[in-house]
Amino acid sequence: MVERMALGAVLSALAMLAGCTHRTESWQLTDVTGHLPDLDFKLTADDGRPVTGDTFKGRTSLVYFGYTHCPDVCPETMGRLMQVLAKLGPDAQKVRILFITVDPARDTPQALHEYVGAFDAEHAEGLSGTDRQIESLARRYRVAYQMEKRDPRGNYEVTHSSAVYVFDQQGHARLMATDRDTPDTIAQDLRRIINDPS
């Protein structure tokens, strides 16, 4: 509930981004081509190896910022992305989901590995880094997140935006999907990116 209330402000920020972009008849998702930077980072994968944006070139990447203790938005988004992969059929082999944590203090590589593996160990990979790395990357892609107040047991939630960013095989930012976009809509645009990445 806390996350959904905070998303109002985040969606306003995303609306400003959408205002700088254009929806054409050719894309159903928000076209961010030329408005967001290429996939570029240095993080740690959920198997402990260092990775960069270049590591994931050659496949279409779906980038989502979330965290493993998320009570609702993250599992809902990951579930929707699983539906997208199912609709893609054989083309799903050309897609990678990158789940980037906004809670690196709790989301160790092992925790991320177990979390994404519960959805799809073949196509999804969890990524983490230092607080500074995550903050810098979130700013790069205009992702808002904030740690909420801890409860007496030390637990806390993280409010965060829920957009999914689509990068083509060359690592160029192409599209943005929100929770209003259906799996059918996402799959349709994804298939076009996969088959014509230019």
CATH of the domain at 83: 3.40.30.10
What average pLDDT does this structure show over 142-170? 86
pLDDT of residue 24: 45
52 found inside a domain: yes
78-115: pLDDT as tens digits: 999 999 999 999 999 999 999 999 999 999 999 999 99
pLDDT of residue 12: 45
pLDDT of residue 57: 93
157 found inside a domain: yes
165 found inside a domain: yes
Per-residue confidence at 6, pLDDT binned at 50, 70, 90?
very low
90 found inside a domain: yes
**Angle, CA of 86, 117 and 161, to the nearest 5°:** 75
Dist. CA 120–CA 185, nearest whole Å: 21
- Closest residue by Cα to residue 195 from 174, 177, 168, 172: 168
Q: Which of 14-28, 60-74, 116-130 has the lowest mean pLDDT?
A: 14-28
34 found inside a domain: no
* DSSP-derived secondary structure letter, 148: P
Angle between helices 183-195 and 73-88 (to 10 degrees): 50
State the pTM of this model.
Answer: 0.84
By the 10 Å C-beta count (0-12 exposed, 13-18 middle, 19+ buried), 151 is classed as exposed
Residue 98 lies in domain: 2-22+39-195
pLDDT of residue 198: 57
pLDDT of residue 159: 84
27 found inside a domain: no
What total number of domains does the chain contain? Answer: 1
29 found inside a domain: no
Asked if pLDDT for residue 119 goes beyond 80, the answer is: yes
pLDDT of residue 146: 83
pLDDT of residue 74: 95
13-51: pLDDT as tens digits: 444 444 444 444 589 999 999 999 999 999 999 999 999
Dist. CA 22–CA 197, nearest whole Å: 19
